Structure 1
Amino acid sequence: MSAADWGAHAQRMARFLVQHRHEPAECGVAYAAFKGHDSPLRHGMTITSCLTGGHMIWWTVEAKSERQALGFLPIYVADRSTATRVSEVEIP
Structure 2
Amino acid sequence: MAVVTAENQKEHFTGPVENDVYQFSALPWITFTHISHTDFGNREKAQPIFDWGKYHEREGKLMMPFSVQVHHAFVDGIHIGKLADKLQRYLDEV
With normalisation by structure 1, the TM-score equals: 0.24
Considering fraction of residues, name the structure with more strand: 1
Bigger helix share: 1
Structure-2-length-normalised TM-score:
0.23
Higher relative contact order (CA 8 A, sep 6+): 1
